Each structure stands twice: as C-alpha cells, then as structure tokens.
Amino acid sequence: SKTKKITDKEKDTVAIHETGHLFANELFKVNKTKKISILPRGTTLGFVMHVNEEEDDKYLNSKVELINRIRVCLAGRAAEEVFFGKDNVTTGAANDLEKANKLATAMVCDYAFVEEMGLSIFDTKNINNLISMTKIQKYVDRILEDAYNDAILMVKQYKDDMRRFADILKEREEMDGAEIAEVLEGVIEN
C-alpha cells in the first residue's frame, strides 16, 4: 500500500495536534497514555492511544470526567490554534469535534448534567420542536466552548514543553508509554 507522503509542515501540525491531546490527557487525568504516533495510517495522520481505550465506554462517568474527555478531544485543535493561529487550524480535528459534540450532547440530553435543563432528558432524533432544539444547542455550545477555552489555557501554559515534546515526537515518530513518561518527567506532576 502506498503511504501518503506528508510534508514537513503537515508533520509539524500533526505532531503539535497529537501533543495537544497527550498533554490534555495527562493533565486532566483522563487516562494513562500507552502510545503516541504521527505515522499516517489509513485516513488518520496520527493518534494517541490510551491504556484502556477499549473500556472507555464501559464505566460510569461523572460529569467532570465527561468534561475532561471533551477537553482532551478539543486539545488537538486548541494546540493548532495556539501554535499556528486561528486561521491555520486544519481539518485534522474533524473526528475530535464529532466525539466532543457527541459527549456534550449526551451530557445535555441523556444525563441531565445541565442544571438549567432540570432532570428532563431528550431524544435528539425525535425533537421537532425548535424551542427545545435551540435550548439544547445553547447548552451543548456552552459546554464545548468552556472545554475549548480550558484546552487553550492549558496549551498556553505548557507551550514550551509541548514544543519540545512535539520536536522529539517528529524525530521518533512513535513513542510508547515509557518513552513518553521519560520525556514528560518533571513537566507534568503525576
């Protein structure tokens, strides 16, 4: 199979994007990371793999855990924005955005995690009432916006460390949990 050759600029963007996910993952304590890669595979240009990725959906999640997962989803794009500017964020975050939107929508519609909405739950497929839809959208937007702002602040705070990490990642292309821990030692408190 012919692997798509990516440009240096793209490689840098992917490295920063994945580093964003990694740092958010470690700082918001969502999951231990077992691998990070910027080798293109199929349609993905890179990924961060968690220790219990397969079990992600099996457990009860508290409200704060879901918010942290949304922050992690959005941290790739946040990293691109902080490093390369608003106008240069890429389409690389499409899958992340989809995940973040699903989680935020679930918080509003399935789990009644938005106090202003009371304990009502909503089947989004069957809402044909514009007022409810508009209200739901407003709270979904707010959750996403707050999580994104948190991710942006994180990137700004750790910008130098993230740059250093991304450069090492570009060189090695793939790193396992032990290598990641070694590079991050002293950067992120466990």
Q: In the structure encoding, which two tokens stand for residue 70, read together?
A: 């949304």
φ and ψ at residue 41, rounded to 5 degrees: -135, 120
User: How many other C-beta atoms can be found within 10 angstroms of the C-beta atom of residue 63?
Assistant: 11
Catalytic-labelled residue, pool 18, 26, 80, 81: 18
- For the record, the structure tokens of 30 come out as 């969502």
- Dihedral angle computed from the Cα positions of residues 74, 80, 83 and 86, in that order, rounded to the nearest 10 degrees: -100
Residue with tokens 């349609």: 43
What gap in Å lies between CA 60 and CA 62, rounded to an integer? 7
Residue partners of 53: CB distance under 8 A and separation at least 6: 31
Say whether 18 is catalytic. yes
Find the helix or strand (DSSP H, E) in which 155 lies: helix 130-157
Residues with a catalytic annotation lie at: 18
